[in-house]
């Protein structure tokens, strides 16, 4: 399968600080990037969709000013959680969608803990 990396894999931050999560597709170009989060024992919930070079589209209930997404290139996207609060603690997973192909692959995820 395709190789997708996420960094960091795990981060602990204090309430009120910002955290940036990077997602890279290592062996393919991703025109579209999906960002998901998963709370314990729940399903993966789509947060936002971004296309390279354009603004992200956010799902209902997701604050665009709090979760900043940058998709500056076909191999890199970042998610910045601004002014993080304990309720933002979750498992964040990126999913780059390849320019060609129909399968969707996922990054290994980032565990964010806000204290």
SS (H, E, C) the chain: CCCEEEECCEEEECCCCCEEEEEEECCCCEEEEEEEEECCCCCEEEEEEEECCCCCEECCCCCCCCEEEECCCCCEEEEEECCCCHHHCEEEEEEEEECCCCCCCCCCCEEEEEC
Q: Is 18 in the site for another protein (CB under 8 A)?
A: no
Closest approach, Cβ 20 to another protein, in A, equals 18
Would you count residue 100 as binding another protein (CB under 8 A)? Answer: no
Least distance between another protein and beta carbon 83 (Å) = 25
Interface with another protein (CB under 8 A): 1, 4, 6, 32, 34, 42-46, 49, 91, 93, 95, 97, 102-109, 111
């Amino acid at each position: 399968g395709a190789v997708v990396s996420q960094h960091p894999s795990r981060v602990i931050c204090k309430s009120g600080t910002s955290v940036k999560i990077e997602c890279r597709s290592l062996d393919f170009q991703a025109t579209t990037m999906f960002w998901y989060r998963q709370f314990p024992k729940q399903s993966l919930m789509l947060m936002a969709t971004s296309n390279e070079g354009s603004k992200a589209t956010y799902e209902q209930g997701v604050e665009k000013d709090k979760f900043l997404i940058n998709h500056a290139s076909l191999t890199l996207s970042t998610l910045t959680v601004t002014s993080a609060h304990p309720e933002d603690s979750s498992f964040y997973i990126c999913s780059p969608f390849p320019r060609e192909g129909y399968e969707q692959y996922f990054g290994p995820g980032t565990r964010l803990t806000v204290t």
